[in-house]
Amino acid sequence: MKMLPLLALVMLAGACATDNVVASQVPAFRETVGMGSTGDAADDPAVWVHPTDPARSLILGTNKDVGVYVYGLDGSEKQRLPVGLANNIDLRGNLAVASNDGVNALSWFRIDPVTAVVTHAGDTKLASVEPYGVCIGKMQNVLHAVVTYKTGLVEFWQVADTGAGPVQLSNLRTIQLGSQLEGCVVDDEAGRLFIGEENVGLWVVNVLSEDMTPVSIDKVGSGTGLVADVEGVSLYLGKNGAGYLVASAQTKDRYVIYDRQPPHAYRGVISVGPSADGKVDGVSHTDGLDVSSAPLPEFPAGILVVQDDANPVSEIDQNFKIVDWREVEKVLAAPKAE
């Protein structure tokens, strides 16, 4: 992720040299406890909403050296699941999945809706080497998992889960993009897949179509604020198909926001600063992120959760910051400069 080819570095330098985009800063509200490690450990979060008691909702986050950590909405650590080199994570309902290049597999987790305890449900081996990003979605009542690779390969699998025993993958379809991929998110309702190509831009794919041809949404250096590395990608789901697509522009410490609906128009760019009381530091160099529009205690409009590289020193005790989505809404509603 941090080691770029020489050509990519030259392209990045050129894009950044002409980038005069100013991000609107929103405050962090809370943070998870640090991972207690040195190095680039934290990567990607996923928000699980408790079906009957939102206060017991969880944030699952990957530690690339250990596995999956589980946090409460108060930021406290609840569990550690040492499954190995987990990179990205996503969930639907009570089933979560992480890409695990330590065992070249997808690692699966079930969340008990009564106890809110997460258990490792086993690993599904993959033939392709080094699964990098992963996302999951349920379209036309069928569960699917998407795996992205540094080669530009996208694997689109059908998932069968009985709730016990191993999770099964079948009916593989593939897409090939030109370079390293990571973040992705599925819009279940619309049948769309959004993918970040780290040094190129954002793509959308109609996964209900036969050929699943990727269509460009935005390119690195276009002037919107999108720069390499394009990392975490998630959706804020509004009513009747409304909502937003959020992408991390890692090297500029910011997040670019687009309409969820086609043509996925640019809506704004934000950064995450310290909390209003100064107890939580600001965010830099975000890798993975997740968004939930579910009403939660203290967060009636939902939350944005982002990985923080520096807590507050780079690659020391990395963690995840929680942002009140109402702060993002203020930016989106503000008049735009002419």
- Residue 223 inside a domain? The answer is yes
- Residue 273 inside a domain? The answer is yes
pLDDT band for 64, please (50, 70, 90 cuts). very high
Instruction: Please state, in angstroms and rounded to a whole number, the distance separating the CA atoms of residues 334 and 125.
Output: 47
Instruction: Look at residue 8 and tell me whether its pLDDT is greater than 80.
Output: no
The whole model's pTM is what?
A: 0.93
Closest CA to 242 of 306, 329, 300: 329
- Residue 9 inside a domain? The answer is no
- Residue 55 inside a domain? The answer is yes
The model's pLDDT over 214-271, given as tens digits with 9 standing for 90+, comes to 999 999 999 999 999 999 999 999 999 999 999 999 999 999 999 999 999 999 999 9
pLDDT band for 107, please (50, 70, 90 cuts). very high
- Residue 292 inside a domain? The answer is yes
Instruction: Please state, in angstroms and rounded to a whole number, the distance separating the CA atoms of residues 174 and 121.
Output: 25
Instruction: Look at residue 11 and tell me whether its pLDDT is greater than 80.
Output: no
Instruction: Please state, in angstroms and rounded to a whole number, the distance separating the CA atoms of residues 188 and 137.
Output: 6
- Residue range of the domain that includes 136: 20-333
- Residue 135 inside a domain? The answer is yes
- Residue 120 inside a domain? The answer is yes
Closest CA to 87 of 47, 23, 43: 43
Which tokens belong to 254?
Answer: 């910011």
- Asked if omega into 312 is within 30° of 0 (cis), the reply is yes
* CATH number, residue 136: 2.120.10.30
Instruction: Look at residue 83 and tell me whether its pLDDT is greater than 70.
Output: yes
Instruction: Show the 3-state SS of 54-95.
Output: HHHCEEEEEECCCEEEEEECCCCEEEEECCCCEEEEEEECCE
The model's pLDDT over 279-325, given as tens digits with 9 standing for 90+, comes to 999 999 999 999 999 999 999 999 999 999 999 999 999 999 999 99
Number of domains in the chain: 1
Instruction: Please state, in angstroms and rounded to a whole number, the distance separating the CA atoms of residues 36 and 257.
Output: 31
- Residue 14 inside a domain? The answer is no
